[in-house]
Amino acid sequence: MSDSRPLRILHCFRSPVGGIFRHVRDLVEEHARAGHEVGILCDSITGGSFEDSLFDGVRPHLSLGLRRLAIRRSIGLSDLSAFFETYNEVKELKPDILHGHGAKGGAFARMVGSRLRVSGSCVARLYSPHGGSLHYDQRTARGQLYFGIERMLERWTDSLVFVSDYERRTYTEKIGQPTTDWRLILNGVKPSEFEPVTAPPEAPDFLYIGMMRDLKGPDIFIDGLRRAEQIAGRPLRAVMVGDGDDKPRYRQKIATMGLGARVTMHDAMPARQAFALARHVVVPSRAESMPYIVIEAVAAGKSMLATRVGGIPEILGADSEALVAPGDIEAMGQAIARAVTEDGWLKGAMPELPSFRERFSVARMASDMLDLYREQTAAAPERHAAA
C-alpha cells in the first residue's frame, strides 16, 4: 500500500479477561511500536486486580487512551445507554479503524461505526468473533436469536477476522457463508515466550490454568485426575490457577472428593509464572476458539493434554495423541494416567518448535492485521462515495 501514514486504531470489546484481552494487548503493543495511534474501549465491570495490572502494562502504548464503560454480558435495556456512551466516546477519537472483538464488542463497534459513516466518517468496521456467540447451539431459541443478530450485523461489517479455521467453519455453518470480506489471521506469541519454562523436580504433576467456569472444564480436570489416580494406582498432585464465580464450587468439589491435600488452588497469574508450578498442563475445555493458553504452553516447552475442540487441533496437530474428547472423564483419566506412567510419551506428542514458531508468531499476526487495516482504509473512501 502506498499510504504509509499512521492509523488511528480503536479496539472495542466487552470483557478484559482471557484470550480476547491478550489478543488486543499484543496488537496494541505491536502497532503502537510501528508508529500508529491505538486505543481501547471495554467494560468497566469485569476484571480485578490482575487485569488492572495488565492495563497498567499496556497503558503507555495507548495514545488514544483507555475508555471503560459498563457493558453487560447479556442483551438488555442497559445496552441502549451503553451504545450511546460508546458512540460519544468513539466519535471524539475519529478512528480510521474500529475493530470489535467478541459478540458484544463486535456489535457495538459495527453499530457505532455505521452511525459514524452516516455522519461522514470513513471509518473501517472490523469484527473478530473469538468464539463468542458461535458457542451457542443453533437448535436453541437463544442460539437462533444471536445468529440472526450476527447475520444482520454482517451488512455493517467491512471485514471479518477469524483467528482459526475452526472459527471460520463454525461461522459458515451457524450463520452462513460470509457475504463480506473475511481473513484468517492466527493468534501469535512473542519471541520471549519461546524461552522454555521448567518446573522443579518436586513440582505437582498437572496444572489447570484458565477461567473457573464449566465451559473451560475445571470439573472435567478434577474428575479426570481422580480417575487417573485409580488407573495409575497412586496419588497425583495438581494445581489450579484462575478466577471466576464458580471457583468456590470447584473448591468444594475438591474437598468432597478427598483431593484437598493434593490439589491446590491459586488466583489468576501470568501464564509463564503458572507454567513453573507443575510438570504438565491440561486444557479440558468443552468449547474454545483459538486458545492462547495452548499456544503459550507449547511455546514454553510444556507438555500438555487438551480437548479436541475449536482450533486446538490446529495448534497441536489434527492427529495429535495429546488430544482428548471433550467432556469425557474416562478418556481424560486415561490420558492423565498415561502421562505419568509412560515417561516421555506426552513430550513426544508435542509439535516441532521451529515450524510452530513460524506459524504462531505475534509479529506475523500483527503484520497481517496491519495489512488488512491498510486495505480497509484504502477502500473506505470508495465505500463512502458509493453509500
DSSP reduced 3-state for 241: strand
Q: What is the pLDDT of residues 182-219, one digit of tens each?
A: 999 999 999 999 999 999 999 999 999 999 999 999 99
pLDDT at 283: 98
Cβ(11)–Cβ(40) below 8 Å: yes
Beta-bridge partner residues of 9: 38, 97
- Residue 17: what residue type? V
The confidence band for 72, taking pLDDT boundaries of 50, 70 and 90, is confident
pLDDT at 384: 55
* CA distances for 52 relative to 20, 49, 197, 354, 369, angstroms: 15, 5, 25, 34, 26
Does residue 1 register a pLDDT over 50? no
Q: What is the pLDDT of residues 19-67, one digit of tens each?
A: 899 999 999 999 999 999 999 999 888 888 888 899 999 999 999 999 9
Q: What is the pLDDT of residues 280-300, one digit of tens each?
A: 999 999 988 889 999 999 999
Catalogue all structural domains in the chain, each as residue range(s) with its CATH number: 8-188+362-386 (3.40.50.2000), 192-359 (3.40.50.2000)
Burial of 44 (0-12, 13-18, 19+ CB in 10 A): exposed
Q: What is the pLDDT of residues 90-138, one digit of tens each?
A: 999 999 999 999 999 999 999 999 999 998 899 999 999 988 888 888 8
Does residue 3 register a pLDDT over 80? no
Helix (H) or strand (E) holding 169: helix 165-174
**In the block, residue with C-alpha cell 473478530:** 128
Using CA atoms, how far apart are residues 22 and 28, in angstroms rounded to an integer? Answer: 10
Higher per-residue confidence, 332 vs 15: 332
- Residue 294: what residue type? V
* Mean of pLDDT over the chain: 93
